[in-house]
């Protein structure tokens, strides 16, 4: 199967996440990476294999709930949009160890790499 060049951002309801399938697809390289803040069981088991994957970023469900972080998140998104609109590389990117994720003007692409930014 070809690699799916996507990065699910699983922030929301637990029932939206099939963690076993997500793990399997991430481990086999079918998905480039995942950002998680909800899990099938809460609190999650810290020994869960999904946390051992280099292409998974996980935070508690309260990962960004302050006024300051919300304001900063908006500033980072605006900076990325401005740079992309100018045809430049955005300053705020996710780069997983196994797969570097790069934004282009209107496309999310993936390529091999070990950079973390």
- What is the tens place of the pLDDT at every residue in 47-83? 889 889 988 888 776 655 677 878 888 898 899 899 8
Q: How many independent structural domains does the chain possess?
A: 1
Three-class DSSP category at 24: helix
Using a cut of 0.75, tell me whether the model's pTM lies above it: no
- Inside any domain, residue 3: no
* Residue 33 · residue 101 · CB < 8 Å: yes
- Inside any domain, residue 2: no
Give residue 56's domain range: 9-112
- Inside any domain, residue 4: no
- Inside any domain, residue 100: yes
- Inside any domain, residue 117: no
pLDDT tens-place string over residues 13-32? 555 567 888 899 889 988 88
- Inside any domain, residue 65: yes
């Amino acid at each position: 199967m070809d690699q799916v060049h996507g990065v699910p951002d699983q922030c929301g309801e637990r029932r939206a996440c099939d963690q076993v399938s997500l793990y399997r697809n991430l481990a086999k390289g079918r998905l480039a990476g995942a950002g998680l803040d909800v899990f099938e069981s809460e609190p999650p088991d810290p020994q869960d294999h999904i946390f051992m994957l280099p292409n998974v970023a996980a935070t508690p469900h309260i990962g960004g709930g302050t006024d300051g972080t919300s304001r900063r998140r908006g500033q980072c998104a605006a900076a990325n949009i401005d740079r992309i609109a100018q045809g430049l590389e955005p300053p705020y990117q996710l780069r997983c160890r196994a797969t570097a994720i790069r934004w282009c003007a209107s496309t999310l692409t993936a390529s091999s790499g070990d950079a973390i930014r």
